[in-house]
Amino acid sequence: MPSITIDGIALDVAEGSTILDAARAAGIRIPTLCFLKERSAIASCRVCVVDVEGLDQPVPSCATPVQDGMKVTTSSPRIEAYRRITLELIIADHGLDSTNYCFSCDKNGACELQAVCREYGVLESPFEAAQKREPVRDENPFLAYDPNLCIRCQRCVGACNDAARNHSLGTAKRGVRTLIEAPFGADWRATDCESCGNCAQACPTGALTEKRRATYRSWETERVRTTCPHCGVGCQLDLVVKDGAIVDAEAAPGPSNQGLLCVKGRSASFDFVDAPDRIRTPLVKNRETGEFEPATWDEALDLVARRFTELRDAHGGESLAAFACSRSTNEDIYLFQKMARIVLQTNNVDCCARV
């Protein structure tokens, strides 16, 4: 196990760890923009550079393995100056120095680039933009890509290809003209894209966003951790709540999903809660008119219990089947099958949850 020193703190770290891994494990913050733990580091942003004793130039902490006896400095006047210049180069093509871009951006207030620039006092760039303005691509029904806000960190590519393993994104062109595109320049609608949104959540800026994000700003919302109500995997997610209504869902770290969501978990796990056509009171059909009429819970439950009892007594328990909704909790479904087997006397029990 290598022994290293970071900012004067002696650490024993696991073999194969990077400097960034070791620093985070010790609670030492190093800023990053391109790093995504679900994929191999590409060290494209150079914001995470640190000084290593014995080396002339700063090295990217996300891609530099630790070595026994290594002495690392994560913050110094030289490192901070290096990071500021790097940020100035990034925002030269990003438009952060234009007030209109930040105010109109859907990611305003939740942008990682904005936060790091504020931390280092970088509010404008002395460099001229090298990239011409590109049109926004929004042919995907759920996602929009603004190349002018892209910092070419390729986190979206890593999230799609390495984490979600859909391989629907890649890069085109080179240098400051690099664009995020579908492989071979294909239309996104012609790829295997599942619209899971993991690429948009990985994006540190407002370059790649979900279209429904335009309905809120981060400072207007709060997040509530919960479990996805669909299949049996039990993915963790954060419900984004604005004015008491759920407006979005974001993947959260969990043992089963590792910070990822499928399209159902991200786009179909909350809209039914406040749906205007949601049934909020029991309905019982009037046999004379054939219309459903509101009833109390006692009336509805008494009717259901009486009719199921009649059917069980007349035709036997195996004439009945119980089908549970996947949006129920595990505890509710357990009680549901218990009732079916003991009260209805049937083993015909199933649930629509499928992995």
Task: Give the CA distances from residue 18 to residues 23, 30, 37, 258, 355, in Å, rounded to whole numbers and listed in that order.
Answer: 9, 12, 11, 20, 35
pLDDT of residue 355: 53
pLDDT of residue 132: 74
Could you please report the per-residue DSSP string of 133-153?
----B--SSSEEE-GGG----
pTM value? 0.82
CA-wise closest residue to 235 among 260, 199, 269: 260
pLDDT of residue 97: 46
Task: Give the CA distances from residue 264 to residues 67, 206, 282, in Å, rounded to whole numbers and listed in that order.
Answer: 44, 23, 27
Per-residue pLDDT in tens (0 to 9) along the chain, 355 residues = 889 999 999 999 999 899 999 999 999 999 999 998 877 788 999 999 999 999 999 999 999 999 999 999 999 999 999 999 999 999 988 864 454 568 888 899 899 999 999 999 998 888 887 767 788 888 888 889 998 899 999 999 999 988 888 888 888 888 778 888 887 667 777 788 888 999 999 999 999 999 888 888 989 999 999 999 887 788 999 999 999 999 999 999 999 999 999 998 998 888 888 888 999 999 999 999 999 999 999 999 999 999 999 999 999 999 999 999 877 888 898 999 999 999 999 999 998 776 5
**Residue 144 · residue 136 · CB < 8 Å:** yes
The domains found in the chain, sorted by start residue, are 3-75 (3.10.20.740), 218-275 (2.20.25.90), 283-351 (no CATH)
Contacts 24+ apart (CB under 8 A), 76-80: 76/51, 78/51, 79/49, 79/50, 79/51, 80/120
pLDDT of residue 184: 66
